[in-house]
Structure 1
Protein backbone atom coordinates (compact mmCIF):
# COMPACT_ATOMS: atom_id res chain seq x y z
CA UNK A 1 0.00 0.00 0.00
CA UNK A 2 1.08 3.55 -0.77
CA UNK A 3 0.33 5.95 2.08
CA UNK A 4 0.88 9.08 0.01
CA UNK A 5 -0.82 8.76 -3.37
CA UNK A 6 0.65 10.98 -6.04
CA UNK A 7 -2.80 12.03 -7.16
CA UNK A 8 -3.20 14.08 -3.97
CA UNK A 9 -0.12 16.12 -4.89
CA UNK A 10 -1.66 17.42 -8.10
CA UNK A 11 -1.94 21.20 -8.33
CA UNK A 12 -5.65 22.08 -8.24
CA UNK A 13 -7.02 23.53 -11.48
CA UNK A 14 -10.09 25.60 -12.22
CA UNK A 15 -13.33 23.69 -12.67
CA UNK A 16 -15.22 24.01 -15.95
CA UNK A 17 -18.63 22.51 -16.58
CA UNK A 18 -17.26 20.70 -19.64
CA UNK A 19 -15.08 18.67 -17.26
CA UNK A 20 -18.14 17.19 -15.52
CA UNK A 21 -18.63 14.14 -17.81
CA UNK A 22 -14.97 13.18 -17.42
CA UNK A 23 -15.22 13.49 -13.63
CA UNK A 24 -18.37 11.37 -13.55
CA UNK A 25 -16.72 8.63 -15.63
CA UNK A 26 -13.64 8.71 -13.38
CA UNK A 27 -15.84 8.55 -10.27
CA UNK A 28 -17.80 5.65 -11.78
CA UNK A 29 -14.68 3.53 -12.32
CA UNK A 30 -13.45 4.19 -8.78
CA UNK A 31 -16.93 3.55 -7.42
CA UNK A 32 -17.04 0.14 -9.12
CA UNK A 33 -13.58 -0.69 -7.75
CA UNK A 34 -14.64 0.10 -4.16
CA UNK A 35 -17.11 -2.82 -3.99
CA UNK A 36 -20.17 -0.56 -3.44
CA UNK A 37 -22.65 -3.45 -3.33
CA UNK A 38 -21.00 -4.93 -0.23
CA UNK A 39 -20.76 -1.56 1.52
CA UNK A 40 -24.39 -0.79 0.69
CA UNK A 41 -25.54 -4.16 1.99
CA UNK A 42 -23.74 -3.60 5.31
CA UNK A 43 -25.25 -0.14 5.80
CA UNK A 44 -28.70 -1.39 4.75
CA UNK A 45 -28.52 -4.18 7.33
CA UNK A 46 -27.67 -1.77 10.14
CA UNK A 47 -30.21 0.75 8.84
CA UNK A 48 -33.00 -1.79 9.24
CA UNK A 49 -31.77 -2.66 12.74
CA UNK A 50 -31.60 1.05 13.60
CA UNK A 51 -34.94 1.95 12.01
CA UNK A 52 -37.17 1.37 15.08
CA UNK A 53 -34.81 3.41 17.26
CA UNK A 54 -34.62 6.20 14.69
CA UNK A 55 -38.41 6.32 14.44
CA UNK A 56 -38.75 6.48 18.23
CA UNK A 57 -36.29 9.37 18.53
CA UNK A 58 -37.58 11.32 15.52
CA UNK A 59 -41.29 10.92 16.27
CA UNK A 60 -40.92 11.78 19.96
CA UNK A 61 -38.42 14.64 19.57
CA UNK A 62 -39.85 16.32 16.48
CA UNK A 63 -43.36 15.39 17.59
CA UNK A 64 -42.87 17.34 20.82
CA UNK A 65 -42.79 20.51 18.68
CA UNK A 66 -44.82 19.67 15.59
CA UNK A 67 -47.15 17.04 17.03
CA UNK A 68 -46.54 13.26 17.01
CA UNK A 69 -49.61 12.52 14.88
CA UNK A 70 -48.50 14.96 12.18
CA UNK A 71 -44.95 13.60 12.20
CA UNK A 72 -46.15 10.00 12.06
CA UNK A 73 -48.55 10.84 9.23
CA UNK A 74 -45.85 12.54 7.17
CA UNK A 75 -43.40 9.67 7.68
CA UNK A 76 -46.06 7.13 6.72
CA UNK A 77 -46.84 9.09 3.56
CA UNK A 78 -43.16 9.24 2.60
CA UNK A 79 -42.73 5.48 2.94
CA UNK A 80 -46.00 4.81 1.11
CA UNK A 81 -44.81 6.89 -1.84
CA UNK A 82 -41.70 4.72 -2.08
CA UNK A 83 -42.82 1.24 -1.00
CA UNK A 84 -46.54 1.38 -1.73
CA UNK A 85 -49.43 1.36 0.79
CA UNK A 86 -49.33 -2.39 1.43
CA UNK A 87 -45.58 -2.70 1.93
CA UNK A 88 -45.42 0.40 4.14
CA UNK A 89 -47.57 -1.25 6.82
CA UNK A 90 -44.51 -2.52 8.67
CA UNK A 91 -43.29 1.09 8.97
CA UNK A 92 -46.70 2.22 10.19
CA UNK A 93 -46.65 -0.48 12.86
CA UNK A 94 -43.22 0.71 14.01
CA UNK A 95 -44.47 4.29 14.17
CA UNK A 96 -47.54 3.29 16.20
CA UNK A 97 -45.26 1.66 18.77
CA UNK A 98 -42.96 4.67 19.15
CA UNK A 99 -44.66 6.12 22.22
CA UNK A 100 -42.22 6.07 25.10
CA UNK A 101 -43.56 4.57 28.31
CA UNK A 102 -43.02 6.17 31.73
CA UNK A 103 -44.41 3.35 33.83
CA UNK A 104 -40.99 2.14 34.92
CA UNK A 105 -38.19 4.70 35.21
CA UNK A 106 -35.39 2.12 35.14
CA UNK A 107 -36.89 0.35 32.14
CA UNK A 108 -37.31 3.68 30.38
CA UNK A 109 -33.69 4.71 31.02
CA UNK A 110 -32.38 1.36 29.81
CA UNK A 111 -34.71 1.49 26.83
CA UNK A 112 -33.61 5.00 25.86
CA UNK A 113 -29.94 3.99 26.15
CA UNK A 114 -30.56 0.98 23.92
CA UNK A 115 -32.40 3.18 21.43
CA UNK A 116 -29.57 5.71 21.31
CA UNK A 117 -26.99 2.98 20.69
CA UNK A 118 -29.16 1.40 18.00
CA UNK A 119 -29.98 4.69 16.27
CA UNK A 120 -26.30 5.62 15.96
CA UNK A 121 -25.41 2.26 14.40
CA UNK A 122 -26.32 3.21 10.84
CA UNK A 123 -24.31 6.46 10.93
CA UNK A 124 -21.33 4.71 12.53
CA UNK A 125 -21.18 2.12 9.76
CA UNK A 126 -21.80 4.83 7.19
CA UNK A 127 -18.69 6.52 8.59
CA UNK A 128 -16.69 3.30 8.27
CA UNK A 129 -17.82 2.92 4.65
CA UNK A 130 -16.92 6.52 3.80
CA UNK A 131 -13.47 6.05 5.33
CA UNK A 132 -12.97 3.04 3.09
CA UNK A 133 -14.16 4.88 -0.03
CA UNK A 134 -11.93 7.86 0.73
CA UNK A 135 -9.03 5.46 1.45
CA UNK A 136 -8.63 6.49 5.08
CA UNK A 137 -7.02 4.06 7.50
CA UNK A 138 -6.44 4.30 11.24
CA UNK A 139 -2.72 4.07 11.97
CA UNK A 140 -3.13 3.40 15.71
CA UNK A 141 -5.24 0.97 17.70
CA UNK A 142 -8.91 1.78 18.21
CA UNK A 143 -9.48 3.15 21.71
CA UNK A 144 -12.60 3.43 23.83
CA UNK A 145 -12.34 7.20 23.47
CA UNK A 146 -12.39 6.87 19.67
CA UNK A 147 -15.42 4.56 19.76
CA UNK A 148 -17.29 6.84 22.16
CA UNK A 149 -16.47 9.89 20.04
CA UNK A 150 -17.70 8.15 16.87
CA UNK A 151 -20.96 7.21 18.59
CA UNK A 152 -21.40 10.75 19.86
CA UNK A 153 -20.88 12.17 16.37
CA UNK A 154 -23.33 9.60 15.01
CA UNK A 155 -25.91 10.65 17.59
CA UNK A 156 -25.34 14.24 16.53
CA UNK A 157 -26.38 13.26 13.02
CA UNK A 158 -29.53 11.65 14.42
CA UNK A 159 -30.41 15.02 15.99
CA UNK A 160 -29.55 16.84 12.76
CA UNK A 161 -31.80 14.43 10.87
CA UNK A 162 -34.65 15.23 13.25
CA UNK A 163 -34.03 18.98 12.93
CA UNK A 164 -34.00 18.82 9.12
CA UNK A 165 -37.20 16.80 9.23
CA UNK A 166 -38.81 19.49 11.37
CA UNK A 167 -37.65 22.24 9.01
CA UNK A 168 -38.92 20.22 6.06
CA UNK A 169 -42.35 19.85 7.68
CA UNK A 170 -42.56 23.60 8.37
CA UNK A 171 -41.52 24.58 4.85
CA UNK A 172 -43.85 22.01 3.32
CA UNK A 173 -46.73 23.43 5.36
CA UNK A 174 -45.86 26.96 4.21
CA UNK A 175 -45.73 25.82 0.59
CA UNK A 176 -49.12 24.13 1.01
CA UNK A 177 -50.62 27.31 2.49
CA UNK A 178 -49.13 29.43 -0.30
CA UNK A 179 -50.39 27.03 -2.96
CA UNK A 180 -53.89 27.04 -1.49
CA UNK A 181 -53.90 30.85 -1.37
CA UNK A 182 -52.77 31.21 -4.98
CA UNK A 183 -54.90 28.39 -6.40
CA UNK A 184 -58.00 30.59 -6.51
CA UNK A 185 -56.19 33.35 -8.39
CA UNK A 186 -53.66 31.45 -10.48
CA UNK A 187 -54.99 27.89 -10.80
CA UNK A 188 -52.64 26.75 -13.56
CA UNK A 189 -49.58 28.57 -12.37
CA UNK A 190 -49.86 27.34 -8.80
CA UNK A 191 -49.48 23.70 -9.82
CA UNK A 192 -46.09 24.32 -11.40
CA UNK A 193 -45.10 26.64 -8.56
CA UNK A 194 -45.91 24.08 -5.87
CA UNK A 195 -44.09 21.32 -7.75
CA UNK A 196 -41.01 23.50 -8.29
CA UNK A 197 -40.91 24.68 -4.68
CA UNK A 198 -41.31 21.14 -3.37
CA UNK A 199 -38.51 19.91 -5.63
CA UNK A 200 -36.21 22.77 -4.60
CA UNK A 201 -37.04 22.09 -0.94
CA UNK A 202 -36.18 18.40 -1.25
CA UNK A 203 -32.92 19.11 -3.06
CA UNK A 204 -31.92 21.80 -0.54
CA UNK A 205 -32.61 19.72 2.59
CA UNK A 206 -30.91 16.62 1.20
CA UNK A 207 -27.94 18.65 -0.06
CA UNK A 208 -27.48 20.17 3.40
CA UNK A 209 -27.63 16.74 5.06
CA UNK A 210 -25.15 15.19 2.61
CA UNK A 211 -22.83 18.19 2.99
CA UNK A 212 -22.74 17.71 6.76
CA UNK A 213 -22.07 13.99 6.32
CA UNK A 214 -19.22 14.53 3.85
CA UNK A 215 -17.72 17.30 5.98
CA UNK A 216 -17.93 15.84 9.49
CA UNK A 217 -18.51 12.08 9.35
CA UNK A 218 -15.27 10.79 7.71
CA UNK A 219 -11.96 11.09 9.55
CA UNK A 220 -10.51 13.70 7.22
CA UNK A 221 -10.57 17.40 6.38
CA UNK A 222 -12.16 18.53 3.14
CA UNK A 223 -12.93 22.01 1.82
CA UNK A 224 -16.51 23.31 2.00
CA UNK A 225 -16.45 24.25 -1.69
CA UNK A 226 -15.78 20.64 -2.60
CA UNK A 227 -18.37 19.41 -0.11
CA UNK A 228 -21.17 21.55 -1.56
CA UNK A 229 -20.45 20.46 -5.13
CA UNK A 230 -20.41 16.77 -4.21
CA UNK A 231 -23.44 17.05 -1.93
CA UNK A 232 -25.49 18.87 -4.57
CA UNK A 233 -24.76 16.29 -7.27
CA UNK A 234 -25.46 13.47 -4.82
CA UNK A 235 -28.77 15.07 -3.79
CA UNK A 236 -29.93 15.34 -7.40
CA UNK A 237 -29.02 11.70 -8.07
CA UNK A 238 -30.71 10.70 -4.81
CA UNK A 239 -34.01 12.46 -5.63
CA UNK A 240 -34.04 11.06 -9.18
CA UNK A 241 -33.15 7.60 -7.85
CA UNK A 242 -35.91 7.81 -5.24
CA UNK A 243 -38.44 8.55 -7.99
CA UNK A 244 -37.18 5.70 -10.19
CA UNK A 245 -37.16 3.26 -7.28
CA UNK A 246 -40.77 4.15 -6.47
CA UNK A 247 -41.72 3.42 -10.09
CA UNK A 248 -39.76 0.15 -10.04
CA UNK A 249 -41.26 -1.06 -6.77
CA UNK A 250 -44.75 -0.07 -7.90
CA UNK A 251 -44.42 -1.89 -11.24
CA UNK A 252 -42.66 -5.09 -10.15
CA UNK A 253 -43.17 -5.40 -6.36
CA UNK A 254 -39.97 -7.48 -5.90
CA UNK A 255 -40.85 -8.14 -2.27
CA UNK A 256 -43.89 -10.26 -3.18
CA UNK A 257 -41.63 -13.27 -3.76
CA UNK A 258 -40.69 -13.31 -0.07
CA UNK A 259 -44.20 -13.51 1.34
CA UNK A 260 -44.58 -12.09 4.84
CA UNK A 261 -41.00 -10.80 4.78
CA UNK A 262 -41.61 -8.88 1.56
CA UNK A 263 -41.97 -5.48 3.24
CA UNK A 264 -38.68 -5.93 5.09
CA UNK A 265 -36.94 -7.01 1.88
CA UNK A 266 -38.21 -3.90 0.09
CA UNK A 267 -36.83 -1.68 2.85
CA UNK A 268 -33.46 -3.44 2.55
CA UNK A 269 -33.50 -3.01 -1.22
CA UNK A 270 -34.48 0.66 -1.00
CA UNK A 271 -31.77 1.49 1.56
CA UNK A 272 -29.20 -0.54 -0.37
CA UNK A 273 -29.98 1.16 -3.69
CA UNK A 274 -29.97 4.56 -1.98
CA UNK A 275 -26.56 3.79 -0.47
CA UNK A 276 -25.23 2.88 -3.91
CA UNK A 277 -26.21 6.36 -5.10
CA UNK A 278 -24.79 7.99 -1.98
CA UNK A 279 -21.46 6.15 -2.27
CA UNK A 280 -21.18 7.19 -5.91
CA UNK A 281 -21.62 10.78 -4.74
CA UNK A 282 -18.89 10.23 -2.13
CA UNK A 283 -16.58 8.88 -4.83
CA UNK A 284 -17.34 11.88 -7.04
CA UNK A 285 -16.60 14.19 -4.11
CA UNK A 286 -13.22 12.52 -3.64
CA UNK A 287 -12.36 12.82 -7.33
CA UNK A 288 -13.46 16.47 -7.41
CA UNK A 289 -11.50 17.22 -4.24
CA UNK A 290 -8.30 15.72 -5.60
CA UNK A 291 -8.53 17.62 -8.88
CA UNK A 292 -10.00 20.94 -7.75
CA UNK A 293 -9.99 21.13 -3.96
CA UNK A 294 -6.47 20.34 -2.69
CA UNK A 295 -7.34 16.74 -1.86
CA UNK A 296 -8.48 15.07 1.34
CA UNK A 297 -6.34 15.56 4.46
CA UNK A 298 -6.59 12.74 7.06
CA UNK A 299 -7.04 13.56 10.72
CA UNK A 300 -4.35 12.77 13.27
CA UNK A 301 -3.76 9.02 13.67
CA UNK A 302 -5.18 8.45 10.16
CA UNK A 303 -3.49 8.20 6.77
CA UNK A 304 -4.50 7.95 3.13
CA UNK A 305 -3.80 4.55 1.59
CA UNK A 306 -4.00 3.47 -2.01
CA UNK A 307 -4.53 -0.19 -2.74
CA UNK A 308 -2.50 -1.83 -5.47
CA UNK A 309 -2.97 -5.23 -7.06
CA UNK A 310 -0.09 -7.67 -6.57
CA UNK A 311 0.41 -10.25 -9.35
CA UNK A 312 2.47 -13.32 -8.38
CA UNK A 313 4.28 -15.28 -11.08
CA UNK A 314 3.75 -18.97 -10.28
CA UNK A 315 6.95 -20.12 -11.99
CA UNK A 316 9.42 -17.60 -10.61
CA UNK A 317 7.42 -16.83 -7.44
CA UNK A 318 8.21 -13.17 -8.05
CA UNK A 319 5.69 -10.49 -7.25
CA UNK A 320 4.77 -7.65 -9.56
CA UNK A 321 2.79 -4.64 -8.35
CA UNK A 322 0.10 -3.45 -10.71
CA UNK A 323 -0.66 0.28 -10.26
Structure 2
Protein backbone atom coordinates (compact mmCIF):
# COMPACT_ATOMS: atom_id res chain seq x y z
CA UNK A 1 0.00 0.00 0.00
CA UNK A 2 2.81 2.40 0.88
CA UNK A 3 4.58 1.61 -2.39
CA UNK A 4 1.40 2.23 -4.39
CA UNK A 5 0.81 5.47 -2.49
CA UNK A 6 4.33 6.63 -3.29
CA UNK A 7 3.97 5.84 -6.99
CA UNK A 8 0.65 7.67 -7.22
CA UNK A 9 2.08 10.75 -5.50
CA UNK A 10 5.12 10.64 -7.80
CA UNK A 11 2.84 10.42 -10.85
CA UNK A 12 0.78 13.37 -9.61
CA UNK A 13 3.97 15.35 -9.12
CA UNK A 14 5.02 14.56 -12.67
CA UNK A 15 1.65 15.62 -14.07
CA UNK A 16 0.52 18.46 -11.80
CA UNK A 17 3.72 19.60 -10.16
CA UNK A 18 5.09 19.13 -6.65
CA UNK A 19 3.04 21.76 -4.84
CA UNK A 20 -0.31 20.80 -6.36
CA UNK A 21 0.35 17.10 -5.77
CA UNK A 22 1.23 17.69 -2.12
CA UNK A 23 -1.87 19.85 -1.72
CA UNK A 24 -4.07 17.08 -3.10
CA UNK A 25 -2.32 14.53 -0.89
CA UNK A 26 -2.97 16.66 2.21
CA UNK A 27 -6.61 17.20 1.26
CA UNK A 28 -7.13 13.46 0.79
CA UNK A 29 -5.38 12.65 4.06
CA UNK A 30 -7.51 15.14 5.99
CA UNK A 31 -10.75 13.85 4.47
CA UNK A 32 -9.97 10.19 5.14
CA UNK A 33 -12.60 8.43 7.25
CA UNK A 34 -11.10 6.29 10.00
CA UNK A 35 -14.12 4.02 10.43
CA UNK A 36 -14.99 2.56 7.08
CA UNK A 37 -18.24 0.86 6.23
CA UNK A 38 -20.55 0.04 3.39
CA UNK A 39 -22.74 3.13 3.73
CA UNK A 40 -19.89 5.70 3.88
CA UNK A 41 -18.26 3.99 0.91
CA UNK A 42 -21.46 4.10 -1.15
CA UNK A 43 -22.17 7.72 -0.22
CA UNK A 44 -18.60 8.71 -1.01
CA UNK A 45 -18.77 7.01 -4.40
CA UNK A 46 -22.08 8.70 -5.24
CA UNK A 47 -20.70 12.10 -4.23
CA UNK A 48 -17.58 11.48 -6.33
CA UNK A 49 -19.61 10.51 -9.41
CA UNK A 50 -21.97 13.48 -9.07
CA UNK A 51 -19.12 15.93 -8.56
CA UNK A 52 -17.00 14.59 -11.42
CA UNK A 53 -19.87 14.40 -13.91
CA UNK A 54 -21.01 17.91 -12.97
CA UNK A 55 -17.55 19.29 -13.69
CA UNK A 56 -17.40 17.61 -17.08
CA UNK A 57 -20.97 18.61 -17.94
CA UNK A 58 -20.01 22.24 -17.32
CA UNK A 59 -16.86 21.70 -19.34
CA UNK A 60 -19.00 20.37 -22.21
CA UNK A 61 -21.14 23.51 -22.09
CA UNK A 62 -18.04 25.72 -22.26
CA UNK A 63 -16.59 23.77 -25.18
CA UNK A 64 -19.92 23.93 -27.02
CA UNK A 65 -19.85 27.70 -26.58
CA UNK A 66 -16.40 27.88 -28.14
CA UNK A 67 -17.41 25.66 -31.05
CA UNK A 68 -20.61 27.64 -31.57
CA UNK A 69 -23.08 24.80 -31.04
CA UNK A 70 -25.78 24.02 -28.53
CA UNK A 71 -28.04 21.10 -27.76
CA UNK A 72 -31.34 20.94 -29.63
CA UNK A 73 -34.41 21.89 -27.63
CA UNK A 74 -36.13 18.68 -26.66
CA UNK A 75 -39.17 17.97 -24.56
CA UNK A 76 -37.50 14.90 -23.11
CA UNK A 77 -35.01 16.90 -21.05
CA UNK A 78 -34.63 14.17 -18.44
CA UNK A 79 -33.32 11.73 -21.06
CA UNK A 80 -30.84 14.30 -22.36
CA UNK A 81 -29.68 15.02 -18.81
CA UNK A 82 -29.03 11.32 -18.17
CA UNK A 83 -27.27 10.96 -21.53
CA UNK A 84 -24.97 13.90 -20.81
CA UNK A 85 -24.19 12.55 -17.35
CA UNK A 86 -23.34 9.15 -18.77
CA UNK A 87 -21.10 10.81 -21.35
CA UNK A 88 -19.36 12.78 -18.62
CA UNK A 89 -18.94 9.61 -16.57
CA UNK A 90 -17.44 7.87 -19.60
CA UNK A 91 -14.92 10.68 -20.00
CA UNK A 92 -14.06 10.48 -16.29
CA UNK A 93 -13.47 6.73 -16.53
CA UNK A 94 -11.41 7.17 -19.70
CA UNK A 95 -9.21 9.76 -18.05
CA UNK A 96 -8.80 7.50 -15.04
CA UNK A 97 -7.75 4.65 -17.33
CA UNK A 98 -5.24 6.87 -19.13
CA UNK A 99 -3.74 7.98 -15.83
CA UNK A 100 -3.53 4.36 -14.70
CA UNK A 101 -1.72 3.39 -17.91
CA UNK A 102 0.62 6.34 -17.42
CA UNK A 103 1.34 5.20 -13.87
CA UNK A 104 2.07 1.62 -14.97
CA UNK A 105 4.31 2.76 -17.83
CA UNK A 106 6.23 5.05 -15.50
CA UNK A 107 6.79 2.28 -12.97
CA UNK A 108 7.86 -0.25 -15.62
CA UNK A 109 10.18 2.22 -17.31
CA UNK A 110 11.81 3.26 -14.05
CA UNK A 111 12.29 -0.38 -13.09
CA UNK A 112 13.90 -1.22 -16.43
CA UNK A 113 16.28 1.73 -16.31
CA UNK A 114 17.15 1.10 -12.67
CA UNK A 115 18.03 -2.48 -13.58
CA UNK A 116 20.44 -1.24 -16.26
CA UNK A 117 21.86 1.55 -14.13
CA UNK A 118 25.34 0.00 -14.14
CA UNK A 119 25.35 -0.53 -17.90
CA UNK A 120 24.06 2.87 -18.99
CA UNK A 121 26.21 5.88 -18.05
CA UNK A 122 23.32 8.32 -18.21
CA UNK A 123 20.55 6.15 -16.74
CA UNK A 124 19.32 8.91 -14.43
CA UNK A 125 19.06 11.41 -17.28
CA UNK A 126 17.35 8.84 -19.48
CA UNK A 127 14.86 8.06 -16.70
CA UNK A 128 13.99 11.72 -16.19
CA UNK A 129 13.68 12.37 -19.93
CA UNK A 130 11.56 9.28 -20.55
CA UNK A 131 9.24 10.05 -17.65
CA UNK A 132 8.82 13.63 -18.91
CA UNK A 133 7.98 12.40 -22.41
CA UNK A 134 5.50 9.85 -21.06
CA UNK A 135 3.87 12.52 -18.91
CA UNK A 136 3.63 14.88 -21.90
CA UNK A 137 2.16 12.13 -24.09
CA UNK A 138 -0.43 11.19 -21.47
CA UNK A 139 -1.45 14.82 -20.98
CA UNK A 140 -1.79 15.25 -24.75
CA UNK A 141 -3.94 12.11 -24.89
CA UNK A 142 -6.13 13.48 -22.09
CA UNK A 143 -6.71 16.75 -23.93
CA UNK A 144 -7.33 14.93 -27.22
CA UNK A 145 -9.98 12.79 -25.53
CA UNK A 146 -11.68 15.83 -24.03
CA UNK A 147 -11.57 17.82 -27.28
CA UNK A 148 -13.00 14.95 -29.33
CA UNK A 149 -15.62 13.48 -26.99
CA UNK A 150 -17.13 16.36 -25.04
CA UNK A 151 -18.12 18.96 -27.68
CA UNK A 152 -21.30 18.31 -29.66
CA UNK A 153 -19.30 18.50 -32.90
CA UNK A 154 -18.30 15.72 -35.28
CA UNK A 155 -14.50 15.54 -34.97
CA UNK A 156 -11.83 13.05 -35.92
CA UNK A 157 -8.73 12.24 -33.90
CA UNK A 158 -6.53 13.94 -36.49
CA UNK A 159 -8.65 17.08 -36.09
CA UNK A 160 -7.76 17.42 -32.42
CA UNK A 161 -4.23 15.98 -32.44
CA UNK A 162 -2.25 19.18 -33.06
CA UNK A 163 -4.40 21.22 -30.71
CA UNK A 164 -4.01 18.58 -27.99
CA UNK A 165 -0.21 18.53 -28.36
CA UNK A 166 0.03 22.34 -28.27
CA UNK A 167 -2.25 22.44 -25.23
CA UNK A 168 -0.19 19.75 -23.50
CA UNK A 169 3.05 21.66 -24.12
CA UNK A 170 1.56 24.90 -22.76
CA UNK A 171 0.07 22.96 -19.86
CA UNK A 172 3.48 21.47 -19.02
CA UNK A 173 5.27 24.82 -19.30
CA UNK A 174 2.67 26.52 -17.13
CA UNK A 175 2.87 23.71 -14.59
CA UNK A 176 6.62 24.20 -14.32
CA UNK A 177 6.27 27.97 -13.96
CA UNK A 178 3.61 27.63 -11.25
CA UNK A 179 5.70 25.02 -9.44
CA UNK A 180 8.75 27.31 -9.46
CA UNK A 181 6.64 30.27 -8.36
CA UNK A 182 5.10 28.36 -5.47
CA UNK A 183 8.51 27.01 -4.47
CA UNK A 184 9.93 30.51 -4.04
CA UNK A 185 6.90 32.19 -2.49
CA UNK A 186 5.25 31.86 0.89
CA UNK A 187 1.77 31.07 -0.41
CA UNK A 188 1.15 28.24 2.02
CA UNK A 189 2.47 30.08 5.05
CA UNK A 190 0.66 33.28 4.10
CA UNK A 191 -2.75 31.63 3.97
CA UNK A 192 -2.06 29.18 6.78
CA UNK A 193 -4.25 26.10 6.68
CA UNK A 194 -5.96 27.35 3.51
CA UNK A 195 -2.66 27.37 1.63
CA UNK A 196 -3.30 23.95 0.08
CA UNK A 197 -6.74 25.05 -1.12
CA UNK A 198 -5.26 28.22 -2.63
CA UNK A 199 -2.68 26.17 -4.52
CA UNK A 200 -5.32 23.81 -5.88
CA UNK A 201 -7.56 26.73 -6.95
CA UNK A 202 -4.62 28.44 -8.66
CA UNK A 203 -3.82 25.25 -10.53
CA UNK A 204 -7.45 24.64 -11.52
CA UNK A 205 -7.81 28.23 -12.77
CA UNK A 206 -4.72 27.97 -14.95
CA UNK A 207 -5.69 24.52 -16.23
CA UNK A 208 -9.13 25.83 -17.20
CA UNK A 209 -7.61 28.71 -19.16
CA UNK A 210 -5.26 26.36 -21.01
CA UNK A 211 -8.10 23.94 -21.77
CA UNK A 212 -10.32 26.65 -23.25
CA UNK A 213 -7.41 28.14 -25.18
CA UNK A 214 -6.61 24.72 -26.61
CA UNK A 215 -10.22 24.24 -27.70
CA UNK A 216 -10.25 27.66 -29.39
CA UNK A 217 -6.92 26.90 -31.06
CA UNK A 218 -8.23 23.55 -32.33
CA UNK A 219 -11.34 25.21 -33.74
CA UNK A 220 -9.35 27.98 -35.46
CA UNK A 221 -6.95 25.43 -36.94
CA UNK A 222 -9.85 23.37 -38.26
CA UNK A 223 -11.43 26.42 -39.91
CA UNK A 224 -8.11 27.43 -41.49
CA UNK A 225 -7.99 24.01 -43.10
CA UNK A 226 -11.39 24.67 -44.66
CA UNK A 227 -13.17 22.00 -42.63
CA UNK A 228 -16.84 22.83 -41.99
CA UNK A 229 -18.20 22.61 -38.47
CA UNK A 230 -20.68 19.75 -38.41
CA UNK A 231 -22.75 19.46 -35.22
CA UNK A 232 -23.90 16.11 -33.94
CA UNK A 233 -27.48 14.98 -34.41
CA UNK A 234 -28.32 16.19 -30.91
CA UNK A 235 -26.97 19.72 -31.49
CA UNK A 236 -27.32 22.69 -33.83
CA UNK A 237 -25.05 25.53 -34.89
CA UNK A 238 -25.82 28.90 -33.37
CA UNK A 239 -25.47 32.21 -35.18
CA UNK A 240 -23.81 34.00 -32.29
CA UNK A 241 -20.40 32.42 -31.77
CA UNK A 242 -17.72 33.14 -29.22
CA UNK A 243 -14.92 33.50 -31.74
1:87, 1:263 within 8 Å by CA — same for their partners in 2? yes
Whether 1:90 and 2:23 are equivalent positions in the alignment is: no
Matching residue within 170, 184, 187 for 1:237: 170
User: Partners of 2:159 and 2:225 in 1: how far apart?
Assistant: 8
Whether 1:157 and 2:76 are equivalent positions in the alignment is: no
Matching residue within 236, 250, 265 for 2:198: 265
**TM-score, length-scaled by structure 2:** 0.85
Structure 1 residues 16-55: aligned runs within 5 Å: none
Which secondary structure does the structure 1 equivalent of 2:228 belong to?
coil
User: Partners of 1:264 and 1:139 in 2: how far apart?
Assistant: 38
The runs of 5 or more residues in structure 1 that have no matched partner are: 1-67, 310-322
User: Partners of 2:64 and 2:157 in 1: how far apart?
Assistant: 18
Which secondary structure does the structure 2 equivalent of 1:198 belong to?
helix
Which secondary structure does the structure 1 equivalent of 2:132 belong to?
helix
Whether 1:175 and 2:109 are equivalent positions in the alignment is: yes
* Rg comparison, structure with higher value: 1
Structure 1 position 217, deviation (Å): 0.8
Structure 1 position 295, deviation (Å): 3.3
Which secondary structure does the structure 2 equivalent of 1:252 belong to?
coil
Cα 1:195/1:145, change in 2 over 3 Å: same
Structure 1 position 219, deviation (Å): 1.0
* Residue of structure 2 in register with 1:33 after alignment: none
Cα 1:133/1:257, change in 2 over 3 Å: farther
Structure 1 position 148, deviation (Å): 0.8
The runs of 5 or more residues in structure 2 that have no matched partner are: none
2:19, 2:182 within 8 Å by CA — same for their partners in 1? yes
Structure 1 residues 62-81: aligned runs within 5 Å: 69-77=2-10, 78=12, 81=17
User: Partners of 2:241 and 2:234 in 1: how far apart?
Assistant: 22
2:8, 2:103 within 8 Å by CA — same for their partners in 1? no
Cα 1:103/1:227, change in 2 over 3 Å: closer
Instruction: Tell me the alpha carbon deviations over residues 216-261 of structure 1, each in whole angstroms, 9 at most, x when there is no partner.
Output: 1111111221111111111111111111111111112435433321
